[in-house]
């Protein structure tokens, strides 16, 4: 058998896998495309091992290691994708944005206000040392007791 046949097939498989990684937005399809690329590499390893008539069959041994690594990669990758899907509700790669990309000033309260509220609050009664109820750091000034009372009604 000529070396050109498996080499061309491996190149086509690798190109299809590369297109899938670059063009797809679904995380599971990206993992499947990576598996196609690894299978193309395995095909090349076995084809060149047979073509070179290696007595140690090192190409086939490397193929076994690649299959083991691919199995571990797909297991961990699917576990991560399932965990992200349960938390976010989508496996679309474009919609999975980390919270670190948001503006930190919009999401976190002012540290001076929260530190002052923590110092002025008596832990037993929930009332500040000046007799007023502490604010929760919210813009509307509602306290934790007010929120609890509203939730029960």
Confidence at residue 139, expressed as pLDDT on a 0 to 100 scale: 52
Cβ contacts of residue 30 below 8 Å, gap of 6+? 20, 21, 24, 93
* Across 97-110, average pLDDT: 54
Confidence at residue 100, expressed as pLDDT on a 0 to 100 scale: 43
- Which of 55-64, 82-91, 143-152 ranks highest by mean pLDDT? 55-64
Phi-psi region of 96 (alpha: psi -120 to 50; beta: other; left: phi over 0): beta
Q: Is the pLDDT of residue 34 over 50?
A: yes
Confidence category of residue 88, pLDDT binned at 50, 70, 90? confident
Across the chain, what does the average pLDDT equal?
78
Q: Rounded to whole angstroms, how far apart are CA atoms 88 and 91? A: 8
Confidence at residue 74, expressed as pLDDT on a 0 to 100 scale: 94
Confidence category of residue 55, pLDDT binned at 50, 70, 90? confident
Confidence category of residue 91, pLDDT binned at 50, 70, 90? confident
């Amino acid at each position: 058998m000529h070396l050109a046949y498996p080499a061309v097939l491996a190149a086509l498989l690798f190109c299809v896998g590369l297109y899938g990684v670059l063009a797809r937005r679904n995380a599971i399809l990206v993992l499947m495309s990576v598996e196609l690329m690894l299978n193309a590499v395995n095909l090349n390893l076995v084809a060149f091992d047979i073509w070179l008539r290696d007595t140690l069959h090192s190409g086939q041994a490397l193929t076994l290691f690649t299959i083991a690594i691919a199995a571990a990669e797909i297991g961990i990758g699917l576990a991560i994708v399932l965990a992200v899907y349960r938390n976010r509700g989508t496996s679309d790669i474009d919609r999975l944005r980390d919270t670190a990309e948001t503006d930190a000033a919009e999401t976190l309260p002012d540290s001076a206000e929260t530190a002052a509220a923590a110092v002025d609050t008596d832990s037993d009664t929930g009332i500040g040392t000046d007799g007023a109820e502490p604010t929760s750091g919210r813009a509307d000034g509602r306290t934790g007791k007010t929120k609890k009372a509203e939730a029960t009604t």
